[in-house]
Structure 1
Amino acid sequence: MSRTVARSWTRRITVRVLAAGVAVAGLATLDRPESSAPLSAEPAAVSTSQTGVTPPPMGWASWNSFFSSIDHNVIKQQADALVSSGMAAAGYKYVNLDDGWWQGQRDANGDIVVDENLWPGGMKVIADYIHSKGLKVGIYTDAGQNGCGYYYPTTRPKAPNTGMEGHYQQDLETFQRWGFDYVKIDFCGGREERLDQETTYKQIGTANEAASAVTGRKLVLSFCEWGSGLPWNWAPGYGDLWRTSVDILQKDETPQLTKMYYNFDEALHPAAQHTGYYNDPDMLMVGVSGLTAARNRLHMSLWSIAGAPLLAGNNVATMSAETRDILTNPEVLAVNQDPRGLQGVKVAEDTRGLQVYGKVLSGTGKRAVMLFNRTGSAANITVRWADLGLTSASATVRNAWTRTDAGSFETSYTTSVPANDAVLLTVSGTEASGSTYEDTTTATTPTFSNITASTAGTKLVDITYANGSSTARKATIQVNGQYKYVVAFPPTGSATTYRTVSLLAHLAKGANTVRFAAVSGSTTPDIDALRVQAIPGTDGAALVGAASDRCVDIDKNAHINGTKPQLWDCSGGRNQTFQQNSRGELVVYGDKCLDAVDDDKGDKVAIWDCHGGANQKWTVHSDGTITDLNGNCLDASGSATANGTQLIRWQCKGQANQKWTLR
């Protein structure tokens, strides 16, 4: 893959680095464009006033209960029930029509023709009705010529031409004029036509902006290509949310715990989720027949710690009070809807299957914690404050489901968690120190050089900025040679009022470079300072080849089992950070083990779900070799050193291509 870095600066300026925002700790250099406009004022240090970002969408979607059998009566009934049940008051605002609303007819101008037997008066009428309830409304389409109902008909015969290909801006304008607020864009037609996911969805994002310029309305864009095009690398800022995995529930399928776990795992891409952009593990199964109350609570805990969109899929009009209470628990929803907009990350797994996830919340010293028992037996699980980026001082613990205080605890907290269940907590402690890198120049999109990390891992980054306009502005951020992400910067009230937004970034051990750049078509905010703080439970190390000085890399942040590691220029990405645990495993992404593939050839290496097998055990030796249990060495194939060189297992020969440094 290409990781080319654009270099547009022309001069270098030395500025202060403030440790924990107070004391001078050292020097950092900032690279600046010459053409930056001067500012009337700059803050003395990083702001501590956090800006709330757009939270993950909450609402209801038709597919999991009604599939293609939707019409105005079904949708009105569910909208009414959202209000009467109290779900709307709890935050479930969207009523989303999925596949089946349209039968694919267009008029001579190419405009959508609606079946008024299903939708009397047309789609604007149903949108107006939902808006009259104080709710918002969403609709469905496909990036290709045909929607999923054409290839996989359910409850209605397949209808051709239900996609938007060839009509991107036209259909988006139509949806906006009808009054819709949200659109889910599937990829069944796109897949059949072999469209490129990134190119196609970026075209749709551009068409949406053009449509908004005509109508004055905006649509939330939900990209639904099931993670096939690795959207966590490119979707933020082009879409508002993007699916990261397959459908969690299909027609005539009973909800499965294994699928719930899989979709949760596949959605954890913390660097992509920030400032109102969200990884989407799919709609909720809560209240769908086949899940117990305990499983429904587990489902909500997983989606809440992940900061995932919450789109209920049950029949709201017939749900039980128990289901309603699970869906509307205010403290669980507060974890999901936290204004900082970040994703939880795994910070510990001392024993296989007993996992700890931490999510940075708004405020100071605030965390959500999920103690997740994926095993078949009840077990004690411990969360350590230090793993979360807190000091070891006393912290208070509260159970989000029972809405009761557990008390104050020094250093850590331990509790029993039932088999295949989770305990969701909020923790209030003392924030650990961080380092602040301040820009005192007049540039708006700076490059911060020499951002120093003592360990490789995921870090909390607070960005101080000013945006005096009435709408959000955008800029890209890039750490070292990693992917660029679009970041949204909401208004701060004036051009001299500075606030912060937060994101999670993956840094290498040692010096790192963080670059901001303008986004085409958007006025840039004034970015003034960064505060960087470790989340120690995510710390790991890069595996650096002695011959190549390149890192073991999982190409394009791919997460699928069987992906083969390669050599690539070291950038500190999560796809290059491995944790060596007491079980002899080398773990990437928190859940994938370096795996000696068991096949006839016997030399392959890949990543795979960690399962405790002998083929996932490795020994790191003092001479730099890394061997499997058969004594074979981790080897850069053919003694090659170039980017893209695949790794294999080979007879140990003491050569440099078989020696590695954990950095």
Structure 2
Amino acid sequence: MPFQQFVRARRLCRAVVVRAAVLALAAGALVGLQEQQGAVDLDRTQPVAVTSNQIPVPTAPMGWASWNTFAAKIDYNVIKTQVDAFVAAGLPAAGYKYINLDEGWWQGTRDSAGNITIDESEWPGGMSAIADYIHSKGLKAGIYTDAGRDGCGYYFPTGRPAAPGSGSEGHYEQDMLQFSQWGFDYVKVDWCGGDVEGLDARTTYQAISDAAAKATATTGRPLTLSICNWGKQNPWNWGAGMAALWRTNTDIIFHGNSPSWDSMLTNFDTNVHPTAQHTGYYNDPDMLMVGMDGFTAAQNRSHMNLWAVSGAPLLAGNNLATMSTESANILKNPEVIAVDQDPRGLQGVKVAEDASGLQTYGKVLSGTGKRAVVLLNRTSSAQNMTVRWSDLGLTNASATVRNLWTRANVGSFGTSYTVNVPAKDSVMLTVTGATEAASTTYEAEASGNTNGGSAADATCADCSGGTKVGGVGNGAANTLRFNAVSAADTGTKVVDIAYVNGDSAARTAVLQVNGQTATKVSFPPTGSWTTPGTVSVEVSLTKGSANTLTFSNSSAWTPDLDAIEVRPLPGTNGTQFTGQQSSRCLDVDNNTITNGTQAQLWDCAGGVNQSWTYTARKELVVYGNKCLDAYQAGTTNGTKVVIWDCNGGNNQKWNVNADGTVTNVNAGLCLDAYNAATANGTKVVLWTCGGGANQKWTRQ
């Protein structure tokens, strides 16, 4: 598909495919393009579809980390032994490349200049020696610190004495530079000290991110940042662009405990932020427990299934020197790894739960008509489970189904596939060859832009229904807005973004959907300024045509965006509940997933925190696994209405009534905007039904 760029002195004019509007790029960006291309005439034929040239994004890290097996008891010989076993097991050939030292390598000592000092009786030659050994095997080396003054080894000593001063606070730039100079390629920054000190996670990790970037610029060695603040302060709202990955939950296994099915599911369930994961930025549900004592082979496979469909980092944590061939082969399954490392970089989402505990997850893969599927049976008995093409955003046409553990095709099927799944187990499949459900393309248009132009210069060939925003000229922000984006239902959609980036490095833009939390999107090089490509994100839209997607950047280093293509994922469809009196939506504050978070009113934006699925079991489900809940099964006026893990209780069941009221099955009371208030942040409670407008809700 031909692309057009904003250039000097030549008129650009094309028709809009579907209503959209644009603010032309700022003068700084125009100058940058002119320098790279010169002033050329790009009057071309109107494109009719977004290019199929998907640009691979950086994949989630794969490797091994020391904590799950060794806790703080690590030294040169421990790590060297694991490196040798890592290589002997064939893990590098399967795609694993990081060897990450966790807590225990440092006891908090510094020299008079503030540089970290090392016990060379444990680390002969210092930390650069172990990094060099890791590199000698063709691998990458990772290291660990804390965001606070005192690290986890001070607050929770595990095999070593409490170590004050083992954090990087006050030394962020100094420590990041030292790590890079030692030869480390990856740094995990924990949160024990930050948590105790009450630090603001977003500003703290931004400072650490800036320090890592500065170290990279100084040494030329990229330093991948792993944010490890356990999901506190909602890092999925701000982690993209700041770090390659961020932890979404607490440790999957605490020191001294054995792996468990429940802990695995807990971390999987809290890793539910598909709109945050894209273009090389990843939710991190913590390290793998595959191969550790206490997990069966079936549990190991399910662990891999769930992490792979999530597109999560794959960081093994078992003792590689004693690993069985069976465990090694599970870690190395090439077809499961391919799903995890899919170059589209999206997170899988729950697309069905036909009965309680029988859950279907689907992941959109690169290419067309390709999906990965996990059928997860959480119940205590074997069950037949079905995946439907329509839930995955595919048409009801013949598709090939493949089992990724038998590594064999099971056949071609027209609309769905059913298989028996053992109790507390899962099946992983791919569905390929089907046709994508109908999508809609929205194209950006601008014309007459000149260096230093004014807002009047930003015009559209046919901007029916669009809105011209902002202005063009020196100092203006680069902003591109797609208006009147339509969705048949509220829920998660896949958006392919067509762009050109002929530079040698990725460029970024901030994406905001409606009034939701913004996220930074990365646009890798496409190869040249005449080669188009796409990257993908998942967004949550509201039903109707009132959705707006805005891309902006204050920098001149913005990619040339051309069009977006919006694809449905019907299995994620939900409903917004809008208060009749307030015209505001039933909302969970700030995308919080913590049990006990009270529901509130907020401006309707169609976000995942406002998209509710009403199930056949009378549950109102948000995020795919949190139920609207009458707190502690309360039955009195003023009982808080909160979110909680779905458990089947009557206090989590609701009657959605024809008169617009929503009544709790257990209490018989109405969902109520407290005290008839209408402002953002108004809390939602149970109250005796009285017919007031603050107890009536419109579904969209």
- Check whether the contact 1:399–1:425 (CA below 8 A) recurs between aligned residues: yes
Q: Does 1:245 align with 2:249?
A: yes
Q: CA deviation at 1:613?
A: 0.9
Q: 1:648 aligns with which of 665, 685, 688?
A: 685
Q: Match of 1:29? A: 21
**Which residue number in structure 2 is paired with residue 434 of structure 1?**
439
Aligned residue identity for 2:268: F
The equivalent residue for 1:378 is 382
C-alpha separation in 1, matches of 2:598 and 2:87 = 50
2:117 to 110, 113, 118: 113
Q: Secondary structure at the match of 2:22?
A: strand
> Aligned partners of 1:34 and 1:261: how far apart in 2?
47
Indicate the larger mover: 455-464 or 612-621.
612-621
* Superposition deviation, residue 599 in structure 1: 3.8
CA distance in 2 between counterparts of 1:382 and 1:519 reads 47
Q: Name the structure 1 match of 2:127.
A: 123
Alpha-carbon offset, residue 651 of structure 1: 0.8
Kindly indicate whether residue 660 of structure 2 is the aligned counterpart of residue 624 of structure 1.
yes
CA distance in 2: counterparts of 1:365 and 1:151, whole angstroms: 50
- Specify the alignment match of 1:537 in structure 2: 571
**After superposition, what is the alpha-carbon deviation per residue over 1:9-53, rounded to whole angstroms, capped at 9, x for unaligned?**
xxxx997554xxxxxxx4333344564627754773421100011
Q: Please state whether the residue corresponding to 2:379 is helix, strand or coil.
A: coil
Q: Please say if residues 546 and 659 of structure 1, whose CA atoms lie closer than 8 Å, have aligned partners that are also in contact.
A: yes
Contact 1:355 1:372 (C-alpha < 8 Å) held by counterparts: yes
**Aligned residue runs from structure 1 range 383-532, under 5 A:** 383-428=387-432, 429-441=434-446, 445-510=479-544, 511-518=546-553, 523-532=557-566
CA distance in 1 between counterparts of 2:325 and 2:616 reads: 45
Farther off after superposition, 42-51 or 527-536: 42-51
Instruction: Assess if the C-alpha contact under 8 Å between 1:636 and 1:657 holds in 2.
Output: yes
Contact kept in structure 2, 1:59 and 1:92, CA below 8 Å? yes
Instruction: Give the secondary-structure state (helix, strand or coil) at the position aligned to 1:572.
Output: coil
Q: Within 1, Cα distance between the matches of 2:266 and 2:543?
A: 30
Aligned-residue offset at 1:570: 0.4
**8 Å contact from structure 1 (residues 147, 161) kept in 2:** yes
How far does the alpha carbon of each residue in 1:197-250 deviate from its partner, in whole angstroms, 9 at most, with x for none?
111111111121222222222111000000011000001110110000010111
Stretch moving more, 201-210 or 557-566:
201-210
Partner-residue secondary structure (3-state), 1:27 = coil
Q: Residues 600-611 of structure 1: matches in 2 within 5 Å?
A: 601=636, 603-611=639-647
Name the structure where strand makes up a greater proportion of residues. 1
Q: 1:615 to 1:14 in 2, by over 3 A?
A: farther
Distance 1:50 1:388 in 2: 19
Unaligned runs of 5+ in 2: 1-11, 35-39, 450-477
1:17–1:436: 8 Å Cα contact kept in structure 2? Answer: no
TM-score when normalising by structure 1: 0.95
Q: Which residue of 2 is the match for residue 612 of structure 1?
A: 648
- Alignment RMSD, CA only? 1.6
Give per-residue Cα distances to partners, 1:92-119, cap 9 Å, x unaligned.
1000000000111111111111111111
Q: Map 1:180-259; keep pairs closer than 5 Å.
A: 180-259=184-263
Question: How many equivalent residue pairs?
Answer: 643
Q: Partner amino acid for 2:521?
A: V
Given candidates 329, 334, 338, the residue that maps to 1:334 is: 338
Shift of 1:601: 5.0
Letter matched to residue 680 of structure 2: N
Q: When the two structures are superposed, what TM-score results if normalisation uses the length of structure 2?
A: 0.90
The residue type paired with residue 645 of structure 1 is T
Identity %: 59
Q: C-alpha separation between the residues in 2 aligned to 1:114 and 1:635?
A: 60
Secondary structure of residue in 1 paired with 2:51: coil
Counterpart secondary structure, 1:459: strand
Task: Give, in whole Å, the separation in 2 of the partners of 1:607 and 1:398.
Answer: 37
Structure having greater relative contact order (Cα 8 Å, sep ≥ 6): 2
Which residue of structure 1 lines up, in the alignment, with residue 286 of structure 2? 282
Match of 1:62 in 2: 66
Give the letter for the 2:423 counterpart: A
Q: How far, CA to CA, are the matches of 2:489 and 2:260 in structure 1? A: 38
What amino acid does structure 2 have at the position aligned with 1:419?
A
What pairs up with 1:162-173 in 2 under 5 angstroms? Answer: 162-173=166-177
Q: Kindly tell me: are residues 407 and 171 of structure 1, through their superposed partners in 2, closer, same or farther at Cα, counting changes over 3 Å?
A: same
CA distance in 1 between partners of 2:594 and 2:287 (Å): 21
